[in-house]
């Protein structure tokens, strides 16, 4: 959702939270000694580092005790961490599911233990919706659509085909599934756009470079790279330059996240457009944790504020980038 429209939604969500907080609550605010168990995906990207920092700083500011685990991108580690939080009887559990499926059992265990669960950043399969209280994060389908809309405008005057290579995020993850779906949906009406290769770079810079090297061996000169995150785009830029081509010119690059490193690359004309995905969820999460712990109603879905930045905006935007 674009910044303007979303700001209205955030204000509405905030008023809902405020409205809820003024309603007579079923339970009084706990004595403030809240314990939040947070199972983080890992530390695979600049986005993730910023997200973890935001959660840790916000918990400290809110006076909430944070039990933080890093799953190193392994679902079994996240499940074990959540089971640990249940044994510990934390007040609230929050996590960013590394992939969408495989959460039914552990979420039912949290429900049986009467510990509310908040999803942040990524989602789980829809059949598990009754097992969590709220989902705070971006609309990844819309991010993919924004990437497609930019591409359609960029090539409006092109009559020939536009060959696209796609670096997907972690296989099975909500951002990879949804960014792929949103992008494909946006470009499907114009047959000139052809996705000639689409492979996972697992959201990391190293894998993004490795996969882009392999793709370039098979597709010498694609027109466009659509990378599901900045880290893979930055790795791919290295591969493109080592292949003797100019990123941003010979191969136009669409990236997602909006990290400082990506804005530096865009200022250097190596990336053409960045679809922002905001990792700074900490303060919103802590407000939700307090409301949920007090037994108050909260929105089932809270979307984050984000925008789209073009190359012309990079220099002006860079100094204010917070991650």
Binding site for ligand GZL (CB under 6 A): 44-45, 47-48, 121-122, 138, 175, 203, 229, 231, 256-257, 277
Nearest to 92 by CA among 62, 125, 137: 62
CA distance 186 to 151: 9
Give min distance, CB of 203 to ligand GZL, in A: 4
What six digits make up the tokens of 100? 């969408």
Give min distance, CB of 287 to ligand GZL, in A: 19
Give min distance, CB of 223 to ligand GZL, in A: 23
Give min distance, CB of 230 to ligand GZL, in A: 7
Q: Give the H/E segment covering residue 274.
A: strand 273-276
Beta-strand relationship, 308-310 and 273-276: antiparallel
Give min distance, CB of 281 to ligand GZL, in A: 9
Residue nearest to ligand GZL (CB): 47
**Residue 169 or 222: which CB sits closer to ligand GZL?**
169
Residue 19, CA atoms < 13 Å, CB-side half-sphere: 9
**Residue 29 or 261: which CB sits closer to ligand GZL?**
261
CA distance 16 to 32: 22
Nearest to 258 by CA among 303, 315, 309, 207: 309
CA distance 292 to 284: 12
The three-point CA angle 225-228-231 to 5° equals 90
What six digits make up the tokens of 70? 């890093």
CA distance 85 to 93: 7
Give min distance, CB of 231 to ligand GZL, in A: 6
**Residue 111 or 301: which CB sits closer to ligand GZL?**
301
**Residue 175 or 282: which CB sits closer to ligand GZL?**
175
* Helix (H/G/I), strand (E/B), else coil: 179: helix
Q: How far is CA 90 from CA 5, 37, 113, 201, in A?
A: 36, 6, 10, 35
**Residue 150 or 203: which CB sits closer to ligand GZL?**
203
The three-point CA angle 178-183-185 to 5° equals 95
Give min distance, CB of 129 to ligand GZL, in A: 19
Give min distance, CB of 52 to ligand GZL, in A: 11
CA distance 251 to 268: 14
Give min distance, CB of 75 to ligand GZL, in A: 14
**Residue 180 or 296: which CB sits closer to ligand GZL?**
180
**Residue 162 or 176: which CB sits closer to ligand GZL?**
176
Nearest to 122 by CA among 57, 85, 169: 169
**Residue 46 or 248: which CB sits closer to ligand GZL?**
46
Whether the CB-CB separation of 55 and 48 falls below 8 Å is answered with no
**Residue 115 or 173: which CB sits closer to ligand GZL?**
173
């Amino acid at each position: 959702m674009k910044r303007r429209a979303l700001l209205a939604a955030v204000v509405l969500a905030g008023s809902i939270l405020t409205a809820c907080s003024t309603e007579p609550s079923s339970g009084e605010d706990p004595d403030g000694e809240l314990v939040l168990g947070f199972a983080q995906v890992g530390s695979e990207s600049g986005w993730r580092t910023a997200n973890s920092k935001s959660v840790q700083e916000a918990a400290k500011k809110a006076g909430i005790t944070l039990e933080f685990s890093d799953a190193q991108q392994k679902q079994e580690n996240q499940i074990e961490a959540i089971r640990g939080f249940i044994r510990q009887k934390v007040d609230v559990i929050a996590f960013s599911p590394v992939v969408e499926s495989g959460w039914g059992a552990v979420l039912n265990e949290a429900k049986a233990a009467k510990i509310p669960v908040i999803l942040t950043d990524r989602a789980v399969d829809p059949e598990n919706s009754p097992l969590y209280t709220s989902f705070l994060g971006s609309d990844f389908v819309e991010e993919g659509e924004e990437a497609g809309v930019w591409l359609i405008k960029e090539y409006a005057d092109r009559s020939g085909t536009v060959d696209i290579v796609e670096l997907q995020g972690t296989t099975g993850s909500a951002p990879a599934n949804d960014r792929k779906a949103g992008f494909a949906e946006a470009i499907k009406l114009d047959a000139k756009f052809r996705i000639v290769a689409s492979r996972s770079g697992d959201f990391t810079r190293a894998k993004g470079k490795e996969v882009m090297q392999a793709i370039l061996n098979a597709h010498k000169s694609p027109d466009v790279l659509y990378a599901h995150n900045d880290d893979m785009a930055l790795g791919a830029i290295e591969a493109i330059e080592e292949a003797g081509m100019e990123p941003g010119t010979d191969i136009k690059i669409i990236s997602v996240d909006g990290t400082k490193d990506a804005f530096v690359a865009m200022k250097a004309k190596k990336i053409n457009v960045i679809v922002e995905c905001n990792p700074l969820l900490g303060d919103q999460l802590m407000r939700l944790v307090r409301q949920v712990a007090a037994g108050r109603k909260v929105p089932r879905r809270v979307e984050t504020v984000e925008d789209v930045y073009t190359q012309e905006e990079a220099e002006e935007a860079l100094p204010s980038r917070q991650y």
